[in-house]
Amino acid sequence: MLSTMQDGHLSIGTLLRHATKVHATSEIVTWTGSGTRRETFADLGKHAARLANALRSLGVTGDQRVGTFMWNNAEHMAAYAAIPAMGAVLHTLNIRLFPEQLVFVANHAEDHVVLVDGTLVPLFAKQLPHLKTVRHVIVANGDVSTLQAPEGVEVHSYDELLASQPDTFDWPDVDERSAAAMCYTSGTTGDPKGVAYSHRSLWLHSMQVCMTDSMRLAESDKALAIVPMFHAMSWGLPYAALMIGASLVMPDRFLQPEPIAQILAAEKPTFAAAVPTIWQGLLQYLDANPQDVSHLREVVVGGSAAPPSLMHAFEERYGVPVLHAWGMTETSPLGSVARPPHTATGEQVWAYRYTQGRFPASVSARLISESGEELPWDDESVGELEVQGPWIAASYHGGSAVDPEKFHDGWLRTGDVGKISPDGFLTLTDRSKDVIKSGGEWISSVDLENAVMGHPAVAEAAVIGVPDEKWDERPLVAVVLRQGQQVTAAELREFLADKVAKWQLPEHWSFIEEVPKTSVGKFDKKRLRAMNSDGKLDVTHF
Ligand code: ADP
């Protein structure tokens, strides 16, 4: 029997119409370095309409791709709204990709137009001659004359192009299953791969971001979106904000600890989202320059494992709870969120909060052993995590769903290794390529990193496996000390003695200035391994 219900499309256009009407006074606040630029959702609707008209005037039709090479700001938000709502596909280009990767992804997605922030023109200009399908470049927030157009490419000023456009647009009805936006993985594990989100998947994911046991985004929130809009759709905050009417604070290019602290003081956001390295940097800054940040009801950290020491520091020193979440570009990205069950008490609460989180109804999960068997959820059996659901990728753009490296009988292989508790909480021990295989046993690089980062003198610690004749691989710890702090490798080893099994105690230690980071701010272990094999690390051996 068919249902008797209506069948409205879950589209970005519908979200935009809703936001501009029902939440007309909510705001997009963009930091300028010394103050703010502010736009209400009502104005965002007009802004998006002008942008959509401008893109049509440049010949954007159908599902053509429109790239963005931008910071988090009002113009990027207008692109998020206008491009999918007009039926085209938003492609957020990661400004920190290596040049050859940037060229690869723009050509692979066949971007027709690219919107570029003025301050990023020098970076973009070098690659523009290699972008085969780009016909128009629109420069926002900057001087258009600084960009030399190669033959066949027209360069426009964002402000001039939009000024003469009407501020209404006849937003079409778009099929909810068609692509709305694209994001390429950052290529930590090979060539970047394109994930094309549908209108429907973005809509359902936005509802998840607002759910009480998830990120809990609400109308009363003012959310500081530090996670870039080119990194897994800024973890869903832009569209969820439109859905629920939360205001957004956009840091633009001001991502260092000091300006972030200024933004916090000026705007007093209630919520914020960023990778652990950003929070580590902010913590050090706040410790040296104390300020009240208790306006933050909660901050979310994901993208890589949140060290427990970081969670405790924010909560105990600054009264800000840190919510740990797990996800990937392929999972839109929200996969799991670590809110303890209401029955948890005392230390149990923290134990749950350290995990990568609990799966929501829309994310099915299973663990697969090395020999391909499904493992029980007993919080002990460790295997590769596979997931399935309406906002999980089924294939890559231009790729095939039968790629056995990434897909397995309709499940996404995450490449993450861990265990799941009987009540559905995921604990990741590693990425499959980062696990240290020592004498037939696995050592979790993440567990070791967290243990070392628990030492008060340590700012950051990254652990890699190094070849070992006897054991196959052994852990090497690269340590970055907090400013003005001193500790020796022997003291750190001693500190670990009652925290990890004896056979896991690392015997290779190196003190470095900074852990190399990927384009999205995660520890770049590929580079760290290369530094070690090139003899660039000064290593103490025990
Ligand atoms: P890339 O694969 O290029 O790094 P993503 O941003 O999609 O790009 O990264 C997803 C990966 O990040 C996950 O597969 C996982 O390894 C890691 N990750 C994300 N969140 C967490 C977390 N909370 N704890 C540990 N690892 C995480």
Confidence (pLDDT) at 400: 67
- What is the CA(89)–ligand 1 centre distance, in A? 24
Confidence (pLDDT) at 399: 80
Question: Mean pLDDT lowest for which of 377-386, 414-423, 426-435?
Answer: 426-435
- What is the CA(280)–ligand 1 centre distance, in A? 17
Ligand 1 atom closest to 187 (CA): 3
User: What distance in Å separates the CA atoms of residue 323 and residue 522, rounded to the nearest whole number?
Assistant: 18
Using a 6 Å cutoff on CB, does residue 186 contact ligand 1?
A: yes
Residue at 207 is within a domain:
no
110 among known catalytic residues: no
pLDDT (tens digit per residue) in 243-266: 999 999 999 999 999 999 999 999
Mean pLDDT on 441-456? 92
Residue at 283 is within a domain:
no
Using a 6 Å cutoff on CB, does residue 239 contact ligand 1?
A: no
Compute the Cα dihedral for 298, 299, 301, 306 and give only its sign: negative
| pLDDT above 90 coverage of the chain, percent | 88
Confidence (pLDDT) at 44: 98
pLDDT (tens digit per residue) in 129-188: 999 999 999 999 998 998 999 999 999 999 999 999 999 999 999 999 999 999 998 766
Catalytic member of 40, 268, 315, 442: 442
Confidence (pLDDT) at 448: 94
Residue at 489 is within a domain:
yes
- Please check whether residue 44 is in contact with residue 81, taking contact to mean a CB–CB distance below 8 angstroms: yes
pLDDT (tens digit per residue) in 503-517: 999 999 999 999 999
User: Which residues are CB-neighbours of 205 under 8 A, at least 6 positions away?
Assistant: 197, 236, 239, 240, 332, 334, 391
Q: Which of 406, 279, 392 is nearest to 333 (CA)?
A: 392
- What is the CA(329)–ligand 1 centre distance, in A? 8
Torsions phi, psi for 415 (to 5 deg): 80, 0
Q: How many domains does the chain have?
A: 2
Q: Measured between alpha carbons, how far is residue 149 from residues 127, 129, 158, 308, 323 in Å? A: 11, 8, 15, 49, 45
- Please check whether residue 288 is in contact with residue 297, taking contact to mean a CB–CB distance below 8 angstroms: no
Confidence (pLDDT) at 308: 95
Using a 6 Å cutoff on CB, does residue 305 contact ligand 1?
A: yes
Amino acid type, 469: E
315 among known catalytic residues: no
- Please check whether residue 387 is in contact with residue 364, taking contact to mean a CB–CB distance below 8 angstroms: yes
What is the per-residue DSSP string for 447-486?
HHHHHHHTSTTEEEEEEEEEEETTTEEEEEEEEEEPTT--
- Please check whether residue 397 is in contact with residue 329, taking contact to mean a CB–CB distance below 8 angstroms: no
User: Which residues are CB-neighbours of 462 under 8 A, at least 6 positions away?
Assistant: 445, 449, 477, 478, 515, 523, 525, 528
Containing structural domain, residue 74: 12-197
Using a 6 Å cutoff on CB, does residue 48 contact ligand 1?
A: no
Q: Which residues pair with 189 in a beta bridge?
A: none
Residue at 17 is within a domain:
yes
User: What distance in Å separates the CA atoms of residue 46 and residue 263, rounded to the nearest whole number?
Assistant: 26
Arithmetic mean of pLDDT over the chain: 95
At 75, is the pLDDT very low, low, confident or very high (cuts 50, 70, 90)?
very high
Catalytic member of 20, 185, 414, 427: 185
pLDDT (tens digit per residue) in 97-115: 888 899 999 999 999 999 9
Using a 6 Å cutoff on CB, does residue 521 contact ligand 1?
A: no
518 among known catalytic residues: no
- What is the CA(328)–ligand 1 centre distance, in A? 5
pLDDT (tens digit per residue) in 305-352: 999 999 999 999 999 999 999 999 999 999 999 999 999 999 999 999
Question: Mean pLDDT lowest for which of 110-114, 270-274, 418-422, 432-436?
Answer: 432-436
Confidence (pLDDT) at 279: 95
| pLDDT above 70 coverage of the chain, percent | 99
Residue at 449 is within a domain:
yes
Residue at 71 is within a domain:
yes
CATH code of 74's domain:
3.40.50.12780
Residue at 103 is within a domain:
yes
Residue at 409 is within a domain:
no
- Please check whether residue 97 is in contact with residue 519, taking contact to mean a CB–CB distance below 8 angstroms: yes
At 402, is the pLDDT very low, low, confident or very high (cuts 50, 70, 90)?
low
Q: Is the pLDDT of residue 456 over 80?
A: yes
At 404, is the pLDDT very low, low, confident or very high (cuts 50, 70, 90)?
confident
Confidence (pLDDT) at 63: 97
Catalytic member of 75, 267, 330, 386: 330
Ligand 1 atom closest to 414 (CA): 14
Confidence (pLDDT) at 115: 98
> Would you tell me how many other CB atoms lie within 10 Å of the CB of residue 106?
26
Confidence (pLDDT) at 266: 98
> Would you tell me how many other CB atoms lie within 10 Å of the CB of residue 484?
7
| Listed residues 197, 216, 246: the one ending a domain | 197
- Please check whether residue 419 is in contact with residue 381, taking contact to mean a CB–CB distance below 8 angstroms: yes
Q: Is the pLDDT of residue 451 over 90?
A: yes
- Please check whether residue 446 is in contact with residue 461, taking contact to mean a CB–CB distance below 8 angstroms: no
Instruction: Please identify which residue in the block is written with the tokens 């001087």.
Output: 143
Q: Is the pLDDT of residue 189 over 80?
A: no
CATH code of 460's domain:
3.30.300.30
| Listed residues 145, 168, 197: the one ending a domain | 197
| Listed residues 197, 232, 253: the one ending a domain | 197
Mean pLDDT on 384-407? 89
Mean pLDDT on 359-375? 96
- What is the CA(188)–ligand 1 centre distance, in A? 10
Using a 6 Å cutoff on CB, does residue 418 contact ligand 1?
A: no
